[in-house]
């Protein structure tokens, strides 16, 4: 069996049929149960500040809490159709695909060739509902994973910091859920690729795997995706909401990088190899999740043809690649790229994202994401 089959369940990382065969079969359930196998660890060493970088992050977190209920302009009127039109105008001069931010989409010979303006409008609206729904589910994943870190990490400074992150994530779930319920027009169930990754992270018995899966991979990607959306968004409430969430997320990714840097420095090649494989699996699962297969199903187009058409546009390819702009430098900083004959470097080369390796890592970048007085006044 090839290593891809072992890790991903398919030999070819780009096998679209195999990717689409994974779908959410449990759409109506209200809860989902996952066995978590890690041991809870008490520490009797209460020396605060034994890890100064984590202590600094903890102190920073304590004074950076915002209130989703009162700090955001919830009285802003949100009209989904106007947002779709505004997005299309940003990509002016093209067909309705501008609504998806795809200015360079040539629809000739694709399932979209004969689409009416109404269909494009519906796609724009469904895409908003889907995107925000997946963010909300991912935030709940972060809430659960970080609560797990409070229990399983052996260092007091990390338990302290993680407890502030639990509060942050509660706020994030809360504000995304409220935005969906009061400003948009429908939820989507969790994407199966995202859920598979969240379950893998929670199930793993090794405490550092929670950090690697959540803080480094999922949150690293979220930080890039939120940044992209923050830049593109013309809707002031969402823009402000994302700005607030990002100021927290940058700390969360820093927490992962600063904690694992110390721990990974002392692992054997065999142990590092397991981490490299896990990082690769997480990267591919997240890439798969962004194909938004559930939207194409709901729009009643042939899912595979639709995805192939969308993925041919340079703008979309660039977006898929940019999602990894935080992950790759952070993996490099953790020493994961080049151990074991550069195994992870070669995988990142194969999926076309290695070019970010020398971009700024997130170990200290969180300072530049901090909220300013101007951010808070504009709320
Ligand atoms: Fe979050
Ligand atoms: Fe987070």
- Looking at residue 25, its pLDDT comes to 76
The more confidently predicted of residues 5 and 152 is 152
Distances (CA, A) of 105 to 86, 91, 113, 119, 306: 17, 11, 11, 16, 12
| C-alpha 138 – ligand 1 centre gap (Å) | 8
| C-alpha 170 – ligand 1 centre gap (Å) | 8
| C-alpha 249 – ligand 1 centre gap (Å) | 6
Find the ligand nearest to 366 CA: 2
Find the ligand nearest to 140 CA: 1
The fraction of the chain above a pLDDT of 70, given in percent, is 96
Find the ligand nearest to 249 CA: 2
Domain boundaries, the chain: 81-377
Instruction: Please give the structure tokens belonging to residue 20.
Output: 């689409």
Find the ligand nearest to 244 CA: 1
Predicted TM-score (pTM) of this structure: 0.94
| C-alpha 2 – ligand 2 centre gap (Å) | 34
The more confidently predicted of residues 53 and 85 is 53
| C-alpha 359 – ligand 2 centre gap (Å) | 21
- Looking at residue 92, its pLDDT comes to 53
CB 142 within 8 A of CB 172: yes
| C-alpha 68 – ligand 2 centre gap (Å) | 15
Distances (CA, A) of 211 to 63, 121, 174, 237, 338: 23, 39, 22, 30, 20
Return d(Cα 239, Cα 230) in angstroms, integer: 5
Mean pLDDT for the stretch of residues 209-230: 93
| C-alpha 136 – ligand 1 centre gap (Å) | 9
| C-alpha 81 – ligand 2 centre gap (Å) | 30
- Looking at residue 147, its pLDDT comes to 98
Overall size of the chain counted in residues:
379
| C-alpha 139 – ligand 2 centre gap (Å) | 7
| C-alpha 163 – ligand 2 centre gap (Å) | 12
pLDDT digits (tens, 9 = 90+) for 88-117: 777 654 555 665 667 678 888 898 889 998
User: Element (H or E) spanning 54, and its range?
Assistant: helix 52-62
| C-alpha 41 – ligand 1 centre gap (Å) | 24
CB 263 within 8 A of CB 282: no
pLDDT digits (tens, 9 = 90+) for 41-79: 999 999 999 999 999 999 999 999 999 999 999 999 999
pLDDT digits (tens, 9 = 90+) for 116-137: 989 999 999 999 999 999 999 9
Share the mean pLDDT of the chain.
91
| C-alpha 95 – ligand 1 centre gap (Å) | 35
- Looking at residue 97, its pLDDT comes to 61
Return d(Cα 332, Cα 377) in angstroms, integer: 37
| C-alpha 269 – ligand 2 centre gap (Å) | 29
Find the ligand nearest to 219 CA: 2
Mean pLDDT for the stretch of residues 316-337: 92
Distances (CA, A) of 196 to 26, 202, 226, 360: 13, 10, 22, 29
Mean pLDDT for the stretch of residues 323-352: 95
Contacts of 293 (CB under 8 A, 6+ apart): 19, 20, 23, 191, 303, 307
pLDDT digits (tens, 9 = 90+) for 257-286: 999 999 999 999 999 999 999 999 999 999
| C-alpha 172 – ligand 1 centre gap (Å) | 5
Q: Using CB atoms within 10 Å of the CB of residue 271, give its burial: 0 to 12 exposed, 13 to 18 middle, 19+ buried.
A: middle
- Looking at residue 2, its pLDDT comes to 84
Those residues whose beta carbon sits under 5 angstroms from the ion ligand 1 are: 139, 142, 169, 172
| C-alpha 97 – ligand 2 centre gap (Å) | 31
| C-alpha 25 – ligand 2 centre gap (Å) | 27
CB 259 within 8 A of CB 211: yes
| C-alpha 247 – ligand 1 centre gap (Å) | 10
Q: Any idea which fold 81-377 has?
A: Ferritin (1.20.1260)
CB 40 within 8 A of CB 152: yes
Distances (CA, A) of 345 to 24, 46, 331, 351, 353: 31, 38, 9, 10, 9
């Amino acid at each position: 069996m090839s290593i891809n089959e072992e890790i991903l369940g398919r030999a070819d990382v780009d096998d679209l049929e195999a990717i689409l065969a994974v779908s959410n079969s449990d759409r109506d359930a209200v809860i989902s149960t996952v066995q978590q196998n890690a041991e809870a660890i008490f520490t009797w060493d209460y020396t605060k500040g034994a890890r100064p970088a984590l202590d600094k992050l903890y102190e920073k977190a304590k004074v950076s809490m915002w209130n989703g209920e009162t700090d955001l302009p919830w009285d802003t009127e949100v009209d989904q159709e106007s947002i779709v039109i505004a997005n299309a105008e940003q990509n002016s001069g093209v067909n309705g695909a501008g609504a998806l931010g795809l200015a360079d989409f040539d629809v000739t010979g694709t399932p979209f060739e004969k689409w009416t303006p109404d269909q494009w409008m519906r796609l724009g609206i469904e895409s908003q509902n889907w995107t925000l729904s997946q963010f909300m589910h991912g935030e709940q994943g972060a809430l659960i994973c970080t609560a797990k870190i409070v229990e399983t990490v052996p260092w007091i400074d990390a338990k302290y910091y993680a407890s502030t992150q639990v509060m942050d994530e509660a706020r994030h779930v809360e504000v995304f859920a409220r935005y969906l319920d009061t400003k948009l027009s429908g939820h989507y169930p969790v994407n199966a690729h995202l859920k598979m990754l969240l379950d893998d992270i929670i199930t793993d018995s090794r405490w550092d795997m929670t950090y690697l899966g959540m803080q480094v991979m999922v949150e690293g990607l979220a930080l890039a995706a939120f940044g992209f959306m923050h830049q593109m968004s013309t809707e002031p409430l969402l823009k402000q909401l994302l700005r607030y969430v990002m100021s927290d997320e940058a700390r969360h990714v820093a927490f992962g990088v600063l904690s694992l840097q110390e721990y990974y420095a002392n692992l054997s090649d065999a142990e590092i190899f397991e981490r490299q494989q896990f990082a690769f699996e997480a990267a591919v699962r997240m890439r798969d999740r962004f194909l938004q297969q559930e939207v194409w199903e709901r729009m009643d187009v042939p899912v595979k043809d639709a995805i192939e058409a969308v993925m041919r546009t340079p703008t979309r390819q660039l977006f898929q690649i940019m999602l990894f702009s935080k992950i790759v430098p952070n993996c490099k900083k953790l020493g994961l790229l080049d151990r074991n004959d550069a195994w992870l470097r070669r995988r990142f080369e194969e999926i076309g994202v290695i070019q970010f390796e020398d971009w700024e890592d997130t170990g200290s970048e969180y300072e530049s994401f901090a909220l300013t007085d101007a951010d808070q006044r504009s709320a």
